[in-house]
A and B are shown apart, each in its own frame.
Chain A
Amino acid sequence: MDFDLSSEQKMLQHELSEFLTSTVDATRLVQMDTAQVEGLRATIDAELFDMGLAGILVEEAQGGLDLGLLTLAVVAEELGRHAAPSSVVRNALAAWIISSSGDEAQKARWLGDLLSGAVRAAFAVQQGDSWSPDAWASASDGAPLEKRNVEGGVDADLLIVALAGSKLGIAHGAGITRKEPRPALDTTRPVVDLAIARETVEGLQGHDGLAARLRDAHLALLAADAYGAGQRAFEMGVEYAKTRTQFDRPIGAFQAIKHQLANMALEIHPAKYLAWFAAHAWDAIPADVEHSAALAKAHVPDVAVRTARATVEAHGGIGYTWEYPLHLFLKRAMFDRVAWGGVEEHRARVAALSAW
């Protein structure tokens, strides 16, 4: 029984944590405009792509690191913990898709650039109000594909596009029309609606189950990201309880605050292992992949949002200000909770997959 990160994964986590701690100043991040956030994203990505992280899911023969989803989940968790803007996780997933399902020409055109970060990828999935591969549909009558809430879609060079029949394609260049972006809830992860000319989408060969695997990878990574954000909010709450004084003592001396924080600890700490398990199952336990990804996506962001909300409450007024960066982590968790289907949708899937 070894239910822990490997020493390499722990080392990676440590390196990322040091780098992101020194690079992302949350109190400055809340004051940044879109262009400044984009600048920070570029600084972060320069380092993360240099570390080869976009190749985590790509086999070594194709220039990747072949380390598995659990390692990518470690990256997602650290990005969540620091509310860090980055395209490295999207590129890692896109590189995996191209390397495992693209033809030789597609690989030659895209893979190297995805791994280096010269090209940035985004996933154009949601149609109407659904993210589910079962609901992916093609536009009829030559109308463009309308894809909503594409994270990183504002300036992505390459789109991985969800198509009818749980198929995938790629799109780039002139066939993509971007709608006017609205102000983002999570300023580190703006989303945009797109229209993609159907005839400009190139099909990927794919294979049976690829769409489900892509979905499950996203679900596990969103859970890991949410855990990171929720845990950070929780840590801010604990720290604040030790330093903020009222009635001549730290508020953490009051049982009301202590018990509130204990209740948060009770939920947020174990949630990490649910996210880990989902990622590990994706790597190594095929029979558990769908169920554990759905369960992690239903549970962990739910816990993370509840924790972050409770942390705002425990802070009092300062937690409700834009200036104090706690809301970055609340919004990060709220994003994770909604993307790729909400809590109830995935609970319903858990029930169906369990044959209840």
Chain B
Amino acid sequence: MDLNFGAAYQDFQTEVESFLAQHWPPPKGASREERAAATANFRLAATERGYLYRNVPRRYGGAEQPPNVIKAEILRRAFAKARAPMEVPGNGVALLVPTLLDCGPEWQKEQFIAPTLRGEITWCQGYSEPGAGSDLASVRSKAELVDGQWVINGHKIWTTLAYQATHMFALVRTEPEASKHEGISYLLLDMKQPGITIRRIRQISGQSEFCEVFFDGATTPADWIVGERGKGWQVSRSTLKHERNLVGGSARTQALFDSLVRFAKTTIRNGRPASEDPVVRSRLAAIEGAVKSHIYSSYHQLTKEAAGEPLGILLHLNKLSSTEIAKSIATLAQDILAEDGLHMPPAEGGAATEHPELWLNQIFGSLALSIAGGASNIQRNIISERGLDLPREQGV
């Protein structure tokens, strides 16, 4: 057991750190536009060096590196320490690009991947519908091939940041006669067209990142389909395991816990910092037990993955683990927040020291975490069926 990365990786770490020291941050006082340009150039240089988009071939704008989870983790840590931007955030890079690499025809890879990596086109995920949440394969939005293009009618919901996205990848029903899972296709489409109406959903947090998307004769070219007709379900399940980020979730959980501790130490309750209340201290320590278990589990998974060994049940625990810890953090945060939490946070955000009620965003956001991307009860099904090999649910 050794928590260091070992001599073999020392050179790589040094190389990354010296690259970062040279290339980041941009000069102080840069305008917003200058900063955006500097970020784009930084990403290009970092990709050139092999640090970003490591799984994407060079011809599509990636770094084309052999998978190495240890290097990936060294990069994440070094970039985080330097506060340098990593890959463009969002569904495009995280979900669509791996899917295209796995299942897309050559022309789609050439046309879509590079601008997605540069952040020039942005993607939203058209999956959930009012009648298709956890039971995603029940999607009813349909597309018909008419005069050489798909004509789409239907209704998507919980589409994150649909109002910002230039494009959508969507699961739609194209084979109405086929069975539930065999009748779905995976289509790409342009969001900026008359057949699409977006309604932003006001969430319990007061924010509106999630949207409803209505298709009313929206269109997309016949060849903007990924994989074959009727194979959309399998395409959407394609999971490229390239440098799976096994530690990222637990690192974010640790960072969230660290902010809770800071919050407890800086918030005065009953004439003293909340962190001096024995009950608060005990609750913090109880949460820390779960946080550290989660982190060390991720270290173990990283070790296993690097050695090419299966992760077993641990992999299935990660999402629910983050969610449950976020829930216990939210519960304690509300008690520390106390009556400051009777006011909604300023919409424009700001510093949590000035606006402690910003913790409400975490308090409500932790609920979104338990629903989005596979609800917690679905996670429990996955853990028990795939992890523990218990009988599968009837008819699912």
Residues of A within 8 A of B290 (CB): 267, 270, 299
Query: How far apart are B243's CB and chain A's nearest CB, in angstroms?
Result: 14
Q: Which residues of B contact A277 (CB under 8 A)?
A: 292, 296
| Inter-subunit contact A5/B282 (CB<8 Å) | no
Min CB–CB distance B180 → chain A (angstroms)? 21
* A266 and B297 form a contact (CB under 8 A): no
CB pair A269 B381 closer than 8 Å? no
Cross-chain contact B306 with A1 (CB below 8 angstroms): yes
Q: Given A250-B391, A273-B296 in contact, is the A266-B289 Cβ separation under 8 Å?
A: no
Which residues from chain B contact A292 at a C-beta distance below 8 Å?
292
Q: Are B390 and A271 in contact (CB under 8 A)?
A: no
* Additional 9 contacts, C-beta under 8 A, given A273-B300, A280-B3: A2-B6, A258-B385, A267-B290, A270-B293, A273-B293, A298-B286, A299-B290, A300-B289, A351-B275
Which B residues between 1 and 21 are near A, CB-CB below 8 angstroms? 1-6
Contact of A4 among B304, B324, B379, B383 (CB under 8 A): B304
Q: Is the Cβ of B289 less than 8 Å from the Cβ of A299? A: yes
Given contacts A2-B303, A241-B390, A269-B313, contact A259 B377 (CB under 8 A): yes
Chain A contacts with B in 300-356, Cβ cutoff 8 A: 300, 302-303, 344, 346-348, 350-351, 354, 356
Chain A, 257-273, CB within 8 A of any chain B CB: 257-259, 261-263, 265-267, 269-271, 273
**Given contacts A1-B3, A255-B381, A351-B281, are A298 and B306 in contact (CB under 8 A)?**
no
Tell me whether B234 is interfacial, beta carbon within 8 Å: no
Question: Which of A's residues lie within 8 Å of B, judged by CB?
Answer: 1-6, 70, 238, 241-242, 249-250, 252-253, 255, 257-259, 261-263, 265-267, 269-271, 273-274, 276-277, 280, 284-285, 292, 295-296, 298-300, 302-303, 344, 346-348, 350-351, 354, 356
Instruction: Determine if B368 is an interface residue (Cβ-Cβ < 8 Å).
Output: no
Q: Assess whether A269 is in contact with B265, with CB atoms less than 8 Å apart.
A: no
Q: Looking across the interface, which residue of chain A has its beta carbon closest to that of B390?
A: A252
- Assess whether A356 is in contact with B265, with CB atoms less than 8 Å apart: yes
* Among listed B98-106, B314-322, B359-367, interface-contacting one: B314-322
Q: Could you say which of A1, A242, A347 contacts B4, with CB atoms under 8 Å apart?
A: A1
Q: Evaluate contact between A3 and B293: CB separation under 8 angstroms.
A: no
Among A70, A261, A269, max chain B CB count under 10 A is at A269
Could you give 18 example pairs across A and B, Cβ below 8 Å? Answer: A3-B1, A3-B302, A252-B384, A253-B390, A262-B387, A262-B388, A265-B383, A265-B384, A265-B388, A269-B297, A270-B321, A274-B289, A274-B296, A276-B296, A280-B1, A295-B288, A299-B289, A356-B275
> Is the contact region of chain B dominated by helix, strand, or loop, or is it mixed?
helix
Cβ–Cβ < 8 Å partners of B182 in chain A = none
Give the top 5 A-B pairs by smallest Cβ distance, nearest first.
A299-B289, A273-B296, A347-B285, A270-B293, A351-B281
CB–CB A276/B1 < 8 A: yes
Bound form: Cα–Cα A351–B277 in Å:
11
- Once the chains are docked, how many angstroms separate the CA of A346 from the CA of B304? 31
Kindly provide the distance from the CB of A72 to the nearest chain B CB, expressed in whole angstroms.
Answer: 13
Q: Is B187 an interface residue, CB under 8 A from the partner?
A: no
Query: Is B278 located at the chain interface by the 8 A CB criterion?
Result: yes
